[in-house]
Structure 1
């Protein structure tokens, strides 16, 4: 049975305009989806905030079990997910397999976070116990791009969920399936309770609503420097934590004793991997 059933892609119907997800190589329509509006973002934030309380109170081993199962599912359904990465995002099979491997590993690493010490005892002059305690932030907003859609979504979604948060994920509409709905399908199959992960493909207005919503205290953004600057400025106005991973150009340091043939090959690979649409290689 396919993991990605179109009938369950958007369990809470969105209210924006419909659009077609197309294959870049052929122009073929792969799916019909609906864009999220600012009102949809607000509704999802309310549902996520309500669901997050019980999830934060769940035993750490229960959250970890969901993350481990999600990692297994990325491997078990690799053929289906690979096909979406190839057709929707224009990946070659090797790049798609790289994303799937990283997605599974991100889930396993996040599962280990759930049982990390949540505080520390502090030295004090007073005759009493003084300590700090780390608690979930609440609802985390994730804005992810099109170039490595699965990796650049899961690396924020998995640790946020493992530590007891809910997530609003706004993937690029061009890769809404492999960068958003595929994650929702995996986590639903792994046993994640309802309303803890909302997928909201949308335009700048949806992103602005996500950054502005008072129920979303943390924003994780990956994308262009220009867009990231706007997100950072808006987050600052709203006194939110913003984690920004912005544009780069595959810089490389070559030392005197380097094998220049290997350097040239590696530099070309890093610069032109995925048609040059990667900034971290």
Structure 2
């Protein structure tokens, strides 16, 4: 029986064991064909509360285990992602509409997230402090308790496991709520891996569901922290609730990322980088290159070469080896992409490539002649759309890059010295010189500023320790201290 054999999980959720959810079932739909692949159990807020209670009961024993025991589970989980990659790939391609390369990236990163997290239990868990009293003084890291992970549809496996793995490694229990559209790729696959890896019952609970379940895993009294990846409007609601309830919120939100193409950049290389940055996974990535800021001297040539690439990228079923552009996740998102493009054209933009859809697919699109107030320039589109605008000097490029509510990722192509000066002046959580905007590694800190989130909250040993533990002050004396009372 395979890891994701539907006989195990079809129509079920996981609260200590696979069981029917009180919210009934929902179909698992393939975006490319609209065919039903399976059914997924749905939880209710009451299920979420039961899961939180069970997780809190299991967490203390897990936190007390030897570091090597927790590390062993994480290493085994990484091995299982590698060993079962082909089966998981099938679900990522079918359920999320990702091409083969994207599916391979997800399982590769998922394994690395687990391997990197396996190092966390044996890292230094605090420091020795100086003291003005006759005592030893320590700052030590303690698990938070129960952590809720709410993950989106676009990279369902990566964007869930990058929080699940370090949270478990540092001694916490986890409530996992995947996007309802990608419950298998972003939920069942992780649950099954950790089951097989020997994670004790209760420490990872799988709660597919709608917004009411999302609210429940935030509000449950046992939950101390919420790791949320998703849209900025939804993230604001999570942050507001966590603030009211005095919970920690780690918010990785939207982006309208700029790619600046300097005067000396090679236009062939720049157009290639731009096509990847804007069209990878149909532009359904928070790091997508959503604003192309191009020097006057290169503008026409750049647009021509980018449009040519857009027109020649194979669009179709992600299961086909030749496909580069797969389907949009659902009809609502497809309609929103087209609405923004048509609004842009009504406002004066011109279509250099694409600008239309066919079935579940939106053709890679290049927009030119925009003004900075154009909706396609300002709003996160989450589709394969590359808006291009020109600049005449570096000051103008910096102003255009900064003039946006988001601050997640920035790419700068061209002279390194000039790029370094720009990097120091643009507000962005990630900056890539002579690379496009889409990049992530398990051991690298990840996060955004402004409306892209509340800073770097995930990735890398130091960041993950800070994210998923709390500092406790501990003092010790050889005997009871004397007091004047």
What TM-score, normalized by structure 1, do the two folds share?
Answer: 0.97
Contact 1:249 1:271 in 2 (8 A): no
Of the three residues 228, 231, 234, the one matched with 1:227 is 234
Q: Which has the higher strand share?
A: 2
Q: Which has the higher helix share?
A: 1
Is residue 8 from structure 1 mapped to residue 8 from structure 2 by the alignment?
Answer: yes
Alignment partner of 2:142: what SS? coil
Paired position in structure 2 for 1:258: 265
Q: Deviations over 1:217-236 (max 9, x none)?
A: 10000000000011100110
* Consecutive aligned runs of 4 or more in structure 1 exceeding 2 Å deviation: 5-10, 249-261
Alignment partner of 1:214: what SS? coil
Paired position in structure 1 for 2:201: 194
> Which has the larger displacement, 260-269 or 25-34?
260-269
Q: Give distance in 2, aligned partners of 1:150 and 1:182.
A: 8
Paired position in structure 2 for 1:129: 136
Q: Give distance in 2, aligned partners of 1:92 and 1:3.
A: 21
Paired position in structure 2 for 1:97: 104
Q: Deviations over 1:12-66 (max 9, x none)?
A: 3310032100111111111112211100100000111111111101111011011
Q: Per-residue deviation at 1:267?
A: 1.6
Is residue 153 from structure 1 mapped to residue 170 from structure 2 by the alignment?
Answer: no
Alignment partner of 2:19: what SS? coil
Q: Per-residue deviation at 1:256?
A: 4.9
Q: Give distance in 2, aligned partners of 1:255 and 1:59.
A: 53
Q: Give distance in 2, aligned partners of 1:46 and 1:255.
A: 55
Q: Give distance in 2, aligned partners of 1:207 and 1:268.
A: 34
> Which has the larger displacement, 248-257 or 191-200?
248-257
Q: Give distance in 2, aligned partners of 1:276 and 1:17.
A: 32
Alignment partner of 1:134: what SS? strand
Q: Name which structure has the greater RCO, CA cutoff 8 Å, separation 6+.
A: 1
Alignment partner of 1:44: what SS? helix
Q: Give distance in 1, aligned partners of 2:263 and 2:172.
A: 47
Q: Give distance in 1, aligned partners of 2:191 and 2:42.
A: 16
Paired position in structure 2 for 1:215: 222
Which residues of structure 1 form unaligned runs of 5+?
A: none
Paired position in structure 2 for 1:139: 146
Q: Per-residue deviation at 1:143?
A: 0.3
Paired position in structure 2 for 1:32: 39
What TM-score, normalized by structure 2, do the two folds share?
Answer: 0.57
Contact 1:250 1:271 in 2 (8 A): no
Q: Per-residue deviation at 1:170?
A: 0.3
Contact 1:42 1:209 in 2 (8 A): yes
Contact 1:250 1:270 in 2 (8 A): no
Q: Give distance in 2, aligned partners of 1:170 and 1:32.
A: 16
Paired position in structure 2 for 1:277: 284
Paired position in structure 1 for 2:24: 17
Q: Per-residue deviation at 1:261?
A: 2.2
Distance 1:82 1:275, change over 3 A: same
